[in-house]
Chains A and B, each alone.
Chain A
Amino acid sequence: MNLFDIIGPVMVGPSSSHTAGAVRIGNIARKLMGEEIAKAKIYFHGSFQLTGKGHGTDKALLAGLMGMPVDDSRIPRSYAEADIRGMAYAFFPIDLGDVHPNTVKLVLDGVKGKHREIVGCSVGGGRIEITEIDGLGVSFGGDYPTLVIRNQDIPGQVQQVTTFLAEENINIGTMQLYRAARGADAVMVIECDKEIPEDVIPALEGLKGIVRVTYLSLK
């Protein structure tokens, strides 16, 4: 917390959780895609579904997926903006079970063919958390440059990645490990202090056992 969490952010109303938070989930999903989004299916759960319309959660999420910041005055007109850009979008209600009441599931297709399914929630004051990527549970807030590495669940993966990052002189802030089940794919979420050079990503992807690397840059 700092003084600008108390006074701020500058945002389009009406709700830090249901509007600004929704924009941020869209922003981060877009960055995780790493390419323009051609098609978005947006599934609202809980309070997002119940009060989302009145809070402009739909418009906010769509604006976020197009890369608009939380204070962008075009947020209320994001449907029209998406139509101009030729981005397809549709909204659905969903019951995701026992998750945070302000949760949304995004099924995204990029212009270059990338497909991602991302679940995120808005936890209050505009802060958010990404809770699932492509069916695997994760947890990060998008406040740091973040590497999401999906790998086969075989011995030595963590060491291989950390050694590689150390050699590239990249300092790890926090690291979390997740897996769906024994022997299934696993995910490493690595939050870094500094941005990661672009050429590191394909090199990481080339390592043995690494299925996919997604990088969240804050730039």
Chain B
Amino acid sequence: MYKSLAEIIAAEKEKNLPFWKVVMQDDCIELDISEEESFQRMKYMYEVMKASDAAYEDNLMSRSGLVGTDGKKIHDARLADKLVCGDFIGRVIERAVKMGESNACMKRIVAAPTAGSCGVIPAVFITVQEEKGYTDDQMTEAMFVAAGIGGVIAHRAFLAGAAGGCQAEIGSASSMAAGAIAYLNGADAEGIAHAAAIAMKNLLGLACDPVAGLVEVPCVKRNVVGAVNALTSCDMVLAGMISKIPPDEVFDAMRAVGRAMPENVRETGTGGLAGTPTGIAYREKITSL
């Protein structure tokens, strides 16, 4: 996998191939599979995301009782035209909440990059596809862009809350989605990298502080911020803004921040929201279940 976005940008120019293809070809060598096989595998990942989105059950609660049924609230409020953000962002919010809840309720999801952050990419991708009418093949190309960005983040920093806080999970998912949507809207590798960088910058420092150690609170709602942040970051780049800090350096900063985070905000379920009096009370109630 590529170690920097700079290398992918250079390869795009040198080989005269789009970002997604540069990343895919490299992975085909790594996995010793054909381009066709790789493309079909990625397409399947997107199909599963869509199936998971459609399979949301609005009456399920997680075993702890902390999350569930909120997807329906957003859905109803959106249809009643009550949301400030309107229908498009409303659908993004709805999908992100639903996927996060489905994950907590032990339904089938695609870790992207992790299970806790599994709602960000589908919420953005499916809604953008619905809105703009991209084909599944185009969405699959965008999936490769997302995975390529994630690969660089994994190399330079981390993708696990236990290693680097929630910036590593929701932050990475958001960064991956931002670059992917920039690609669909015509951005080149440079633009993709800047969208990814801006999304990551906006979530830098985010703590991983799940109440009772469960992937529920605040995880479900953070999928919403990751998704919406991806879209606004993408728009900044489409309008011509750039990240003043080069994208690879942004990921290095994420690593440095993650390294400096105390253990109690790295998935131990002790600090941050988990360490509030109410967070502790929930934990005690849940562990006595």
Contacts and interface: CB of A to CB of B under 8 A. Distances in A.
B106 A7 contact: no
A124 interface: yes
A1 B151 contact: yes
B214 interface: yes
B109 to A, nearest CB: 5
Interface stretch (B23-31, B82-90, B237-245): B23-31
Interface residues of B, number: 54
Contacts of B287: 50, 53
A44 B48 CA distance: 31
A70 to B, nearest CB: 9
Nearest to B160: A124
B115 interface: yes
A12 B162 CA distance: 20
Interface string B135-158: 000000001101110110011000
Contact of B147 (A3, A13, A14, A55): A3
B31 A7 contact: no
A14 B62 contact: yes
B151 A3 contact: yes
A51 interface: yes
Residue in B106, B108, B212, B216 with the greatest tally of chain A CB atoms within 10 Å: B106
B212 to A, nearest CB: 6
A3 B115 contact: no
A55 B215 CA distance: 8
Contact of A53 (B113, B114, B289): B289
B8 interface: no
B108 A11 contact: yes
Contacts of A71: 108
Interface string A1-31: 1111111111111111101100000000000
Contacts of B148: 3
Given A3-B151, A7-B42, A20-B115, A14 B110 contact: no
Chain A interface size, as a band, is 20 to 34
A6 B154 contact: yes
A51 B103 contact: no
Contacts of A56: 63, 106
Contact of B106 (A2, A17, A19, A125): A19
Nearest to B213: A51
B115 A7 contact: no
Nearest to A72: B108
A64 interface: no
A125 B63 CA distance: 22
Nearest to A16: B115
A59 interface: yes
A10 B163 CA distance: 22
Given A3-B27, A8-B111, A54-B63, A13 B102 contact: yes
A126 interface: yes
B27 A76 contact: no
B110 A8 contact: yes
Contacts of B118: 13
Given A3-B1, A13-B102, A13-B118, A54 B62 contact: yes
Given A14-B216, A20-B115, A51-B213, A7 B150 contact: yes
Nearest to A13: B103
A109 B109 CA distance: 33
26 contacts: A2-B1, A2-B27, A3-B24, A3-B144, A4-B147, A6-B154, A6-B159, A7-B121, A7-B147, A8-B112, A10-B48, A10-B110, A12-B107, A12-B109, A13-B104, A14-B215, A15-B115, A16-B111, A53-B289, A54-B212, A54-B214, A54-B216, A55-B214, A56-B63, A124-B163, A125-B114
What 4 A-B pairs are tightest by C-beta distance, nearest first?
Answer: A13-B103, A6-B150, A51-B213, A3-B147
Interface of A: 1-17, 19-20, 47, 50-51, 53-56, 59, 71, 73, 75-76, 124-126
Given A13-B102, A13-B118, 14 more contacts: A4-B41, A6-B154, A6-B176, A7-B112, A9-B110, A10-B110, A16-B114, A50-B213, A53-B287, A54-B62, A54-B286, A56-B63, A125-B111, A126-B111
